[in-house]
Structure 1
Amino acid sequence: MADPTKTPSTPAPPKRASLRERTRAAMRAEVSDVAFRLFAEQGFENTTVEQIAAAAGLSRTTFFRYFGTKEEVVLGRVGEYGRQVADALAARPADESPWYALRRAFDVITEAGPGRPGSPADMVRLLSQACVLMTRHWEKTQGWHSMIAPEVARRLGESAGPVTDMRANALTAAAISCLDAATDAWIATGGTASLSDLADQAMGCLHETGHTPE
């Protein structure tokens, strides 16, 4: 029994990033935007680290304080989108099925067209230009899995355990694969098709066969 003489402890507020961390994040974002502008103008392969650094007003050495490689500029944005998908999934209505909630969470990617440096559409185009990026993009999107699967497990509404985790992992992997299939088809059309419609079709294939939970 709780001691009535003791005042319930108040949860500690979330730790705020230090000024140094916020400054570093802001600089990374600025350099990333500059890089994506150059990628769009010149292509990924034709853009050098020296050009990115000069356009951002940095030395080559300073560039490497924020990004280990040119590829990391792109892949860092991929990781950001993974976090956005996870946040969007957690914000979906509780009564939605896991599969539908996953599809709608992907809207942060499928409905965000070109218009700003590093948009999902521009990022997909870049990935299609460089094989090394495609390989590392696949590795990066697998990192999305660990961000998304716990929320899928929660939405399954079952007691925690190996079976629930298995189902959540299977659904998450299937959804990410459907998004990959949709982006591959989108690239094949030269970006003329609707990525959102293609994602609907890809995820709808599994839904229609009854292989996803209602």
Structure 2
Amino acid sequence: MTDAPATRLVERSRQAARAEVARTGVALFLTRGFDATTMDDVAAAAGVSRRTLFRYFGSKEEVALGHLGGLGDELAAAVRAQPADVDVWVALVTAFEQTLPGALATDDGAARALAQLVETTASLRAAHAEKHRRWTDALTPAVAERLGDAPDAELAARAVVGTVLACLEAATHAWLCTDDDRDVHALALAALAAVRSTV
């Protein structure tokens, strides 16, 4: 019989080690450049073997963006946790408000540097787009459930999820490319409110 507490402890230790390797890798990417940094460089800096590194991450893109990997399922769970009488849009926005801050860098400078790296690196942009596709696939059924028997519930759910993700992209662009002094979370909420007020 499996010792559940021991198993959970091992998993938490693994997750902590994975997060530490990722932080080391991101620091290297920001210092040396993404393309100039190899997986061997990351392994050496993190003090782990190449084999161990590849057990944690399959690519450099995963090192940089792995913290976003499980967010789709977390967001879907947060949507499902909202009371049944909560509007679909509000439930979805609330899920993002509850989930995203804990997944992103708490240091605004580090978060901005990583976002800028993604914006300027083609392979990271592609990997980030793939993360968003996975979020959409995870979130669409959760949103569709709230629409019940409404016509085209699946289509409407995917459209709403896509709109929210587009608002996040718009907020990130404004954060990186304009003189607006609001943080990315405030900009995201402003974008979401602006879209909601027009529909």
Q: TM-score range by the shorter chain?
A: 0.7 to 0.9
Unpaired runs of 5+ residues, structure 1, are 1-14
Which one-letter code corresponds to 2:176 in the other structure? I
**% same residue:** 38
Is the 2:119–2:125 contact (alpha carbons within 8 Å) kept by the matching residues of 1?
yes
- Asked whether the equivalents of residues 113 and 121 of structure 1 are also in contact (C-alpha less than 8 Å), the reply is no
Distance 2:181 2:32 in 1: 21
Q: Which amino acid aligns with 1:141?
A: H
Pick one of 28, 36, 41 that aligns with 2:26.
36
Match of 1:6 in 2: none
Residue pair 2:67, 2:103 contacting (<8 A) in 1 also: no
In the superposition, the TM-score normalised over structure 2's length comes to 0.77
Alpha-carbon separation, structure 2, partners of 1:16 and 1:74: 30
Alignment equivalent of 1:202, drawn from 187, 191, 196: 191
Q: TM-score, normalised by structure 1?
A: 0.72
Choose 1 or 2 for highest CA Rg. 1
Q: Distance in 2 between matches of 1:63 and 1:88?
A: 31
User: Any idea what SS the aligned residue of 2:93 has?
Assistant: helix
User: Size of the alignment, in residue pairs?
Assistant: 193
Gaps of 5+ in 2: none
Cα shift at 1:167: 1.4
State the AA in 1 paired with 2:161: T
1:142 Cα shift? 0.7
1:52 corresponds, among 42, 54, 63, to 42
| CA-atom RMSD in angstroms | 3.3
Q: Which has the higher contact order (CA 8 A, sep 6+)?
A: 1
CA distance in 1, matches of 2:82, 2:113: 26
Name the structure where helix makes up a greater proportion of residues.
2
* CA shift in 2, pair 1:88/1:29, >3 Å: same
